[in-house]
Structure 1
Amino acid sequence: MAKEECKALLDALSKVTACYRHLVLTVGGTADSQNLREELKQARQKAQELAVAARNQLTAALRDKAVGREERAELERLWVLFSSCLEILEVDMRRALELGLEFPLNVPRKPLIQTGMSGGTSAVAARAMSVQNMKYEAERDIDVLDLKDLENEINQVGEMMYEMEMKVNVPQWTVEAKQDPGAELKSTISVGASSIGMIEVEEHKSFCDISKVLAGVIFTAVLLVAIILAVCVAKLS
């Protein structure tokens, strides 16, 4: 039961983390606004709430001596995935802090970043966080106030990661994967190689067919020349 709850929490965390990354990429671009900054705040706070819940569930489950060997192995894999999600979240939060300092909303704007994204971002955030309406009436200085909170929250995420390592020691190199490393890449490569092989065979067949036609033409030409020479010799004699 604990394993299923942890999986559900991690699934939600990964979606919100992906949503947060998408929003961070639009800071400083044509879609940047006070609403975007508020969406960023809501997304990262939601991610942190899920992270705390997942940490508590996984910590309790991994410290339970009654957990079986197979279930513990699965929990350790979930722990590694959870650690990776936190690392990604921390990196994106630092990126959001840097971009927020570089592109404040309450001063004359610098040239916008050509992110290739435009328009609103509320739909993406709403789908990831199950929120119907992500429009907010933000304060004028929300970016200034929020950047201070963001800096504190980055430190909190770092402390959470440190505490996790102290409470539950699960070295990533000791966790066994369910499939061989690069299995998905190998399958893709094998499919690609088989396709290339088929193309090469078809090309070889085509080349063989062309060679046969060319040989037939040359043989016919040589035969015609021989006939003409024979006729000429007969007339001269």
Structure 2
Amino acid sequence: MAREECKALLDALNKATACYHHLVLTVGGSADSQNLREELQKTRQKAQELAVATRAQLTAALRDRGLGAEERAEFERLWVAFSGCLDLLEADMRRALALGTAFPLHAPRRPLVRTGVAGAAAGVAARALSARSLRHEAEGDFDVDDQRELEREILQVSEMIHDMEMKVNVPRWTVQARQTAGAELLASTSAGASSVGAVSVQERTGPCDPSKALAATVFSAVLLAAVALAVCVAKLS
């Protein structure tokens, strides 16, 4: 039961981390806005909550001395996957901090990254003066406060990773995977090749065309006659 709970938590953490990574890639671009920064804040906080819950479950399981060998191996694999997920989350948080510092929300000239998209000045101004945009302008210190909070959260994640390594010693190179690297890709590739091969064999071994068979027979007969005539000429000469 604990193993299934750990798997569910780790799956949710993977999804939250992937979502956060996708959002970080848009910071500083034409789609950047306070809405994006707020979504980044919510997503990384959700990921950290899931990380804390996952760490607690895995730590309790791996420190249980009565755990069987097979179950321990499975929990160690989950632990390695969890460690890798935390490393990616920390790296993306550091990237978000760097991009947020380089591209502040309320810079004098925005957007700082031009995508080539342009429109009528009146239409752009009308969209910019929406009620939501005005509220965001009134909250001009959001990005400053969020950057400070992000710095603290990066330190918390780094401490979590260090604490994990101190409490549970599971070297990554000692954990064996249940399947070879790229097994899913190889399986899909072999399946595609098998289907193509089956089609090719079916095409080669399909019903014979009578007209093609007759033409092949006539050509063989003419070729044999020509060979026989050449042999006779050679003997007579």
| Cα deviation digits, residues 80-128 of structure 1 (max 9, x gap) | 11111111111211221222122211112113468xxxxxxxxxxxxxx
Distance 2:174 2:153 in 1: 30
- CA drift of 1:173 comes to 2.1
Task: Say whether residues 1:111 and 2:144 are aligned partners.
Answer: no
Length-normalised TM-score, structure 1: 0.71
1:58-137 alignment to 2 at 5 Å? 58-107=58-107, 108-109=109-110, 110-112=112-114
| Cα deviation digits, residues 48-96 of structure 1 (max 9, x gap) | 1111111111111101112122221111111111111111111211221
| Preserved contact between residue 14 and residue 85 of structure 2 (Cα < 8 Å) | yes
Distance 1:166 1:201 in 2: 59
Amino acid at match of 2:37: R
| Preserved contact between residue 30 and residue 113 of structure 2 (Cα < 8 Å) | no
1:160 — aligned with what? 160
Identity over aligned pairs, percent: 64
Cα 1:211/1:161, change in 2 over 3 Å: farther
- CA drift of 1:200 comes to 5.0
Aligned length: 200
| Preserved contact between residue 80 and residue 172 of structure 1 (Cα < 8 Å) | yes
Task: Say whether residues 1:28 and 2:43 are aligned partners.
Answer: no
- CA drift of 1:205 comes to 7.3
| Cα deviation digits, residues 138-190 of structure 1 (max 9, x gap) | 52121122122212322221221122111111112222222233321221121
Distance 1:213 1:44 in 2: 74
Where do 5+ consecutive residues of structure 2 fail to align? Answer: 117-134, 224-237
Distance 1:191 1:27 in 2: 40
Note the aligned Cα RMSD (angstroms). 3.0
Identify which range, 137-146 or 83-92, moves more after superposition: 137-146
Cα 1:213/1:168, change in 2 over 3 Å: farther
Distance 1:214 1:20 in 2: 67
1:1-237 alignment to 2 at 5 Å? 1-107=1-107, 108-109=109-110, 110-112=112-114, 139-198=139-198, 201=201
Amino acid at match of 1:9: L
| Preserved contact between residue 12 and residue 50 of structure 1 (Cα < 8 Å) | yes
2:132 — aligned with what? none
Distance 1:219 1:181 in 2: 53
| Preserved contact between residue 9 and residue 50 of structure 2 (Cα < 8 Å) | yes
Task: Give the SS at the match of 1:111.
Answer: coil
Cα 1:165/1:81, change in 2 over 3 Å: same
Length-normalised TM-score, structure 2: 0.71
1:117 — aligned with what? none
